[in-house]
Structure 1
């Protein structure tokens, strides 16, 4: 599942770092905390590694 915005990609990267023990889980907030709780490390890695070119800063709320 690719990220749809840079913000979503950043949140996935933060959640992935926490899953790997590189960042404290208590430092996660909002979307990154939700992603940490609901997604596997593999899913987070796929989302965080999505190419950034052409992505909006935030996804439109459609």
Structure 2
């Protein structure tokens, strides 16, 4: 299931980067940290994938 907003997609990308060891886990904040702890690398890849142009900035 891809992200529903640009913010979700960005948070998933940050969490994915930390899962892969490209960035430090301590640099994550908020939703990205929660995603890092609760989702697998495969789930994060799916969530972060897709086109951003048609997505709203935020979803309530």
In which range does the TM-score fall when normalised by the shorter chain?
over 0.9
Which consecutive unaligned segments of at least 5 residues does structure 2 have? Answer: none
Q: 5+ unaligned residues in a row in structure 1: which ranges?
A: none
Distance 1:38 1:45 in 2: 13
What is the TM-score with the length of structure 2 in the denominator?
0.95
CA distance in 1, matches of 2:35, 2:50: 16
For these two proteins, the number of residue pairs brought into alignment is 60
**Please, what TM-score do these two structures have when normalized by structure 1?**
0.92
Q: Tell me the C-alpha RMSD between the 2 structures.
A: 0.7
